Each structure stands twice: as structure tokens, then as C-alpha cells.
Amino acid sequence: MYLETPPRLIETKIFSAMPDTFRRKGVRTDWADANRPGVPTDSFVEGPSFDKEGNLYIVDIPFGRIFRIAPDGAWLLVIEYEGWPNGLKIAADGRILVADYMHGIMELDAQAGRVTPVLTSRNSESFRGCNDLHLGSNGDIFFTDQGQTGLHDPSGRVYRLTSNGRLDCLIDTGVSPNGLVLDPTETVLFVAMTRDNAVWRLPFMRDGSVSKVGRFCSLFGTSGPDGLTMDAKGRLFVGHASLGHVFVFAPNGELIARIKSCAGPNCTNVAIGGANRDRIYITESATGSVLVADISGLNS
């Protein structure tokens, strides 16, 4: 995990928690029955992404909701619809895209309060369950089709939807593919493989295919790596869904820091924000909280 220096410990605090008025206490959902059996689930937040005004958008998977959290921590329900929004990313032009486990890739019009399909199938076959997405600078959409895959069924897929509408399947042997992010040069794609408890590294070839796919880092626990983000220096931030941490890896794969949850153990996704991009925001899904930590010290 590390060579010479033990990883730095970075503490978190709660930025904002879902108000009780939005929590669906005592309500059962098909999603929770399948993914959190026997565990009371009044919300399950994921998919943090900032707009240009500094508002943080997040999803609430089991209840088909998307929220906007203002810089002062106030929550606003943007939409509630029949779906399971799992991942969300906001493009540079303000376009809001959603990886919906039930429907596929969707687009949110926050002003009108509606979602419309972008891509719902491949060759007339429905997706198994889209989990997360990442946007390339050229407009390409990378997304994971996780479903219920795992070591027992290593058939999860990672796709690229190019800006001209071509759909490429980059791999179809994923062990529960989840969060994903491009490196700063956009020549390597990193994908969290939750049930493999690892992050895979997918280098691109000249023709856009991937080759020599390998494990960039391995972890442990009852769940595994979930959401990913990367800073301009190529440091990978990995939210772990059962260990209550975000782990920070150097470009060579060495663990250099661990960001510890002050709430629950389900650190599912991450986004870098702040005026100087020196804050990391973390969705702690089980408690319906968004945590924040100062990561400016990583530069010292």
C-alpha cells in the first residue's frame, strides 16, 4: 500500500445532511430490498457533482430523487421520478447527465424538472444496471454497466459513448464496475471494481481500444471501492463503501493519505470542490450526509 511514509490522516466534518422532511422513514423499496436487505433505508445518496454556481447536485437512488445543495448547505428537491438515479455528472457547458440503474443514461433539465433518455439500450438489449459515468473533455461519455455482477459473474461492462454517437464496449469482464475517471492526459481510464475490491487501470491504444488492463490498487472489506475522482496532479481519490474512508493514491499507486469519515462507513462517492479546488466532498450514503475535508495539505 505504501513504500516509505505511512499515509497521512485527514479528518472530515459534515457539510450538510438530508433534512428529516426529505427522509422516507419506514418505506420499503425494491432497490433497497435487493441491495440493502434487512437494513432500514430512508435514503441512499450518491453522485456528487458541482455546477458553475457552486451548488452540489446529488442523487437519492431508492426514491428516484435528485437534490441540489446550495453552498450554505440548504437542500432543494430538483426532481422525483420513476427511476433509480445512481451517478451524476455536470458537463462544462452545464449539461447534467445521469446514470440511471433502471433506465440507462439520462439527461436532467433542472429548470424544467424532467429527465429525458440519452441511451437506454445497446443493440436492442437493455443495460444490466448503469452505475456511474465520467465525461471526457471532447464530449465522450464513459459509463459503467454494473448490474449485480461480481466474482461469481465477472461480466460487468464499461462503455464509451462518443460525441458522434458511437457506442464502444471497452471491457465486458468487469467484476462489479462502479465509479470511473480519466487521468489528466485522458489516455488512461480508472474503474472501481467493487466486488474485486480493486481499482483497475485501462490504458487506451491508438485506435481507442484498451489493452493490458491491470489492477492499479487493491483494498479489502465487505464491500469495495465505489466513486472515484482525480486531481490535476494525477492523485486518485477512492471512496470505499464499507471502510468509512476515502483513500488517496499517488500516480504510481502508493497510498499517500486516508480521509476518515466522521459519520458512517459508506463513503460511496467523491467530488473535488472549493474556490481553489482544495476541498473533497464525500457522500456518506447510509446517514444521508455529505462530508467535507480540506485536502490542501496534500500539496505540502
Q: Is 53 annotated as a binding residue?
A: no
The CB-side HSE value for 262 (13 A sphere, CA atoms) comes to 15
178 is in an annotated binding site: yes
Annotated active-site residue in 60, 140, 196, 226: 226
Q: CA triplet 269, 92, 290: central angle to 5 degrees? A: 25
From CA 107, how far away is CA 114, in angstroms rounded? Answer: 8
Q: In angstroms, what CA-CA distances link 273 with 33, 114, 189? A: 33, 26, 21
Respond yes or no: is residue 226 known to be catalytic.
yes
Ramachandran sector of residue 185 (left: φ over 0; alpha: ψ -120 to 50; beta: rest): alpha
Q: Is 86 annotated as a binding residue?
A: no
CB contact at 8 A, 17 and 36: no
Binding residues for substrate, as ranges, are: 131
Binding residues, as ranges, are: 46, 131, 178, 226
Enumerate the active-site residues.
226
Binding residues for a divalent metal cation, as ranges, are: 46, 178, 226
